[in-house]
Amino acid sequence: MMARIRKLIQKPGFDSLVASIAAIGIGLVFGLILLIVFNPGKSLYGFGQILFAGVSSTGKFSKVLYQAAPLIMTGLAVGFAFKTGLFNIGATGQYMLGTFFALYTGIVWQFPWWAALLAAMVGGAIWGAMPGLFKAFFNVNEVITSIMFNWIGLFAVNVLLANIPRVLADFYGASNPDRTANMAAANPAAIIPKWGLDQIFGSSYINISFFIAVIVAVIAYFVLNRTIFGYELKACGYNRNASIYAGINARRNIVLSMIIAGSFAGLGGGIYYLSGTAQYTIEKILPAMGFNGIPVALLATSNPLGIIFSALFVSYIQVGGEAMQPEYAKEIIDIIISVIIYLSAFSLLLKGVIRKQLKKLVRVEAITSSKGEVEP
């Protein structure tokens, strides 16, 4: 028994898992403290909402899945690039471009949903390729380029959408000119199918996008860990010189990695805005979905399979936050939720400490158990 636990603890990845869970715990504790600070009387109620609202009804649970899907995709956009040594802070811009491509092809060209999703991937890929190209050929740090491309992406998409009347809601008789059309009016075929899940869950939020995201995450995992393509990508990320020495085309791989990462984020945008329930609002702020990919990836230590779960966690907390609404102001909820998410991600820095503690535990147990064997 002891031996089995010991083996489990020494398994690579186990410490990452424990660290992630501990990090979430730390984030939640801070969230509770903030709740008490802002409104002590309702703090337990609020905390209860954060912890349990996500599973309080099938409708809420649908919402968790609904928001988790694009988060998985932006998380993958950050995590995949990170595994190959690139810090893709541009998931937001790639997400924007994916959104635009999905809406444009879905509405103007009347693409069916799957084709519009592919178009979204292309859009994200183009936006991801830019920092990749700059990095590969001019050695410009991808962080700087991708931040710039976030803003370029936001304003380009806003300008484009504002000037294509057909994609806007008021073209279909709605009263708000600052948002894109309701897909049900513009092109029902572009709405991601629900395959009867809406009947089962009794919610219009649910569709197959969560499953699409999970499949993509699994594919990303296999590409990274089981293929020679992934071997090359990671080699470039870990040690560019050694990968060049091994005859790997490092430049090509940097660009490819960013293209793939970008297509993930782009797909995230497509998934969200082709759900039939979301309409893009033309605003001067970057959508949080892209940036939230960063804590999602951090929390999962960039492991694509872990990203599925960390995205679920982040989405779950967000749904819980919404449920605190009248008791807590929306802004305060945003602060609390962000604190929980980001603290969770950053307390992962404690991973080293946790690993040490685990090792100590193993040693103590080994000593006590071996003593046990000596005594008759």
Q: Name the site residues for another protein (rule: CB under 8 A).
A: 10, 226-229, 231, 234-235, 238-239, 241-248, 363
Q: Residue 244 Cβ, how far from another protein at the closest point, in Å?
A: 7
* Amino acid at residue number 359: K
Q: 102 and 121 in contact (C-beta within 8 Å)?
A: no
Under 8 Å CB-to-CB from 277, ≥6 apart: which residues? 66, 204, 205
Q: Which is nearer to another protein, 135 or 234 (CB)?
A: 234
Q: Residue 356 Cβ, how far from another protein at the closest point, in Å?
A: 9
Q: Which is nearer to another protein, 166 or 363 (CB)?
A: 363
Q: Residue 255 Cβ, how far from another protein at the closest point, in Å?
A: 17
CB atoms near residue 196 (< 10 Å):
9
Q: Which is nearer to another protein, 32 or 300 (CB)?
A: 300
Q: Which is nearer to another protein, 44 or 218 (CB)?
A: 218
DSSP assignment letter at 42: G
CA–CA distance, 269 with 102 (Å, rounded to integer): 8
Which residue shows structure tokens 């990170």? 82
Q: What secondary structure does DSSP assign to 96-163, as a single string?
A: HHHHHHHHHHHHTS---HHHHHHHHHHHHHHHHHHHHHHHHHH---HHHHHHHHHHHHHHHHHHHHHT
Q: Residue 17 Cβ, how far from another protein at the closest point, in Å?
A: 18
Q: Residue 363 Cβ, how far from another protein at the closest point, in Å?
A: 7
Among residues 357, 195, 179, the alpha carbon closest in space to that of 279 is found at 179
Q: Which is nearer to another protein, 247 or 326 (CB)?
A: 247
Tokens of 281: 């609002």
Under 8 Å CB-to-CB from 321, ≥6 apart: which residues? 49, 50, 333, 334, 336, 337
Q: Which is nearer to another protein, 182 or 225 (CB)?
A: 225
Q: Residue 253 Cβ, how far from another protein at the closest point, in Å?
A: 13
Q: 205 and 194 in contact (C-beta within 8 Å)?
A: no
Q: Which is nearer to another protein, 61 or 80 (CB)?
A: 80
Q: Residue 359 Cβ, how far from another protein at the closest point, in Å?
A: 9
Among residues 363, 368, 370, 327, the alpha carbon closest in space to that of 6 is found at 363
Q: Residue 10 Cβ, how far from another protein at the closest point, in Å?
A: 7
Q: Which is nearer to another protein, 226 or 330 (CB)?
A: 226
Q: Residue 354 Cβ, how far from another protein at the closest point, in Å?
A: 16
CA 32 to chain centre: 24
CA–CA distance, 325 with 317 (Å, rounded to integer): 13
CA 232 to chain centre: 24
Q: Which is nearer to another protein, 173 or 245 (CB)?
A: 245
Tokens of 264: 């993930």
DSSP assignment letter at 41: G
